[in-house]
Structure 1
């Protein structure tokens, strides 16, 4: 298995595997509240650092590769389209929960895998 494949598996796991449960997470259903929480902050977790801007852009690093993408807010969900190191991770609408210092994204409109991030 090549180093890139091993790293890809590690980063994919970092995007999908939940970290320790965050205290008192509240569902974020309003775009303006979401923007207020992420504006000027970095979403971080092991091997991943992302910036989500109010103009619909996503940028950062996952392991050693760039992450780029776009996002929108639809019907109470964060809908994103991501590219990681040249690989299309696809479009997905996710439920968002937060407590001010942590944020959880749950794929497939809250029915899928979760990923927890710290807001720094």
Structure 2
């Protein structure tokens, strides 16, 4: 179980995602656009289900552990502080792109690892 828990932050934050290069994702630059995309949706990928609320909360489950945190919109980036199963995953500002019912977060303002989620009602 400890080994699995060591790898889940990569699943939560990216790193183990193969995304086709030709996939067309539109960058979200404005808070209003971001809220419109995630409002009332659950962000899902294998073993992960998260809600990102307009009030600035992040909540859900990653494997068997709770995910909690807060977020704000700063200079065109989704900046979040995240806790997973009691482990502080820290603060990071991420580029956000959307393609239909998929959303992609790329850490370090777009220069780091990416995580792609399905947007489910």
Task: Give the TM-score normalised by structure 1.
Answer: 0.92
Contact 1:11 1:48 in 2 (8 A): no
Does the 8 Å CA contact 1:83/1:89 hold for their aligned counterparts? yes
d(CA) in 2 for partners of 1:93, 1:13: 16
Q: Which residue of 2 aligns with 1:103?
A: 103
Q: Distance in 2 between matches of 1:42 and 1:79?
A: 18
RMSD: 1.3
Number of the residue aligned with 1:31: 31
**Does residue 63 of the first structure (1) align with residue 60 of the second (2)?**
no
Q: Which residue of 1 aligns with 2:19?
A: 20
Distance 1:45 1:107 in 2: 17
Cα contact 2:9–2:89 (8 A) shared by 1: no
Unaligned runs of 5+ in 2: none
Q: CA deviation at 1:23?
A: 3.0
Distance 1:76 1:100 in 2: 20
Unaligned runs of 5+ in 1: none
